[in-house]
Amino acid sequence: MSNEKTLRLLILVCLLLLPTTPEYLAAASETARPDAIPKVISTESDRVSAEITVYNSGLGLVKDRRSINLSRGDSVLQLMDVASQVIPSSVSVESVSEKGVFSVLEQNYEYDLLSPNKLLEKYVGKTIIVRYRNPNTDREDEKKALVLAFNNGQPVLQIDNEVTFGIPGNYVFPQVPEDLIARPTLSWLLRTDSSGARQIETLYLTNGMTWRADYILVLDANDKSAAVSAWVTLDNRSGANFRNARLKLVAGDVNRVREDARAAQPIAARSMVMQESAPQFQESALFEYHLYTLQRPTDVKNNQSKQVGLLSAQNVPVEKEYVYRGQSHYYRGRYPGFLEKNTKIPVFLIFRNDKKSHLGMPLPKGVVRVYKRDQDESLQFVGENKIDHTPIDEKIRMTIGNAFDVVGERKQTSWNSIATNLTESEYEISLRNHKREDITIRIEETIPGEWKILESSHPHKKENSANAVFLVNVPKDKEVVVRYKVRSKF
């Protein structure tokens, strides 16, 4: 027999001796598949540290560092316990302990999550078990069922050669399909040079995180000074928990591409007055923004609102201002009778963000809630307003409501058309103060065109090209009338 025939005979004998059981064939097929690459699953328990930077636009930056064992060669690293609102295009991963020890061949974000409906979808064309209580025997029975279809939340089944749906009972599945996962997962196909434990840091952006500043301003008895405290309200709806994390906050108007941005969930207003707390954040500059770093680790849990003290200041000088405003259309025509009658006058609070006022820290935008003690020394809410990002040494001016005991009236006493585009008109403003103390009211008149006040009963200042301002002292329980005549050219 030739050598070639002998070799063929040996190959045939070896093939006949190989196992042919389904289990062996399945295992051989699995080994031959290109996706049979070893998997490394990492959970929150592997986390060494976490750092979160939260922006006040509904965005969070996560730096998740974990200790993970990797084998030499190709492997799939599955990183669980990540934010469910991760922006996949923002993800990066690297080894902290040894730079360049692995290369990333593929990166995936798995979010086909396990659920009853997803299980039924994946088992279309496959057999499951339906367990039900037999009404005749009052015992639990079970039937094999072929899932023919799953649409609109309803499976269509074939049981005992009959097609049916709406079967009451429990569906039992042999196993969880490989492409269904219990939690959102980041995965990478890695190629590693050597085996061993390494610290791997994953960085990604996620929606669903936001923060804001809440300010509490408590006025003194004379409304001349106030105690100011600020709290950070952090809201985490990203879908992930971060325990013992370093927390940083960025205040500023950071530009984002709108296709990636999602509206942040609203945060319920905290109406109670929070106790004073020592500042816990260190402020620093970051590009054109400001960064606030919490000086201790903290837990940031999913679906949690957390408040942390930002600043606290005493004896902040405050001014109270009453403002009575006019409208530009008053000067364009004849108005017999009252233009405004018994008009309410808004009240403004003014304070400066500087060291002299015991502040002097860049203030992030937020809501300022104002309180004052009543005759029983109990704090009462008196108004609120929003402030924008406020740099150091800038003035904050906000309205908190209308004065109850101060009213104003306005009427036009004369109006003459001197030429086609030239008019002269006179006005009378009555201010009545029913309070128990003297006050100063700021009258702001918005006058269109080129104008000049020809006569006035009180001094005025031309604040800009469109506004004349009168500062009028009104004694308690008195009325003061301001009269003036203006020439306007349109």
Residue 398 is predicted with a pLDDT of 97
The string of pLDDT tens digits covering residues 401-460 is 999 999 999 999 999 999 988 999 999 999 999 999 999 999 999 999 999 999 999 999
For residue 324, what are the CA distances in angstroms to 214, 459, 470? 29, 16, 10
CA-CA-CA-CA torsion sign (360, 365, 366, 372): positive
Domains: count for the chain: 2
All residue ranges of the chain with pLDDT < 50 are 12-18, 20-34, 260-275
Residue 281 lies inside a defined structural domain of this protein: no
Residue 389 lies inside a defined structural domain of this protein: no
Residue 272 is predicted with a pLDDT of 41
Look at residue 12 and give its three-state secondary structure.
helix
Residue 185 lies inside a defined structural domain of this protein: no
Residue 4 is predicted with a pLDDT of 59
Residue 269 is predicted with a pLDDT of 36
**In the numeric block, which tokens belong to residue 429?**
């403003």
Question: Count of H helices and E strands in the chain?
Answer: 3, 31
Residue type, 9: L
Residue 312 CB burial class (10 angstroms; 0-12, 13-18, ≥19): middle
**In the numeric block, which tokens belong to residue 221?**
């008895």
Residue-wise DSSP of 103-135 = EEEEEEEE--B--HHHHHHHTTTSEEEEEEEET
CA dihedral 427→440→343→336, nearest 10 degrees, is -10
User: Which residue segment(s) compose the domain that 158 sits in?
Assistant: 116-172
Residue 433 lies inside a defined structural domain of this protein: yes
Residue 379 lies inside a defined structural domain of this protein: no
CA dihedral 164→165→168→170, nearest 10 degrees, is 100
Residue 178 is predicted with a pLDDT of 76
Residue 399 is predicted with a pLDDT of 96
Residue 245 lies inside a defined structural domain of this protein: no
Residue 151 lies inside a defined structural domain of this protein: yes
Give the chain's length.
Answer: 490
Distance CA 427, CA 489 (A): 17
Q: What is the CATH number of the domain that holds 424?
A: 2.60.40
Q: Of the candidates 377, 366, 435, 44, which has an alpha carbon nearest to the alpha carbon of residue 216?
A: 366
Residue 108 lies inside a defined structural domain of this protein: no
Residue 29 is predicted with a pLDDT of 44
213 within 8 A of 365, measured Cβ to Cβ: yes
Q: Domain end: 151, 172, 193, which one?
A: 172
Residue 467 is predicted with a pLDDT of 96
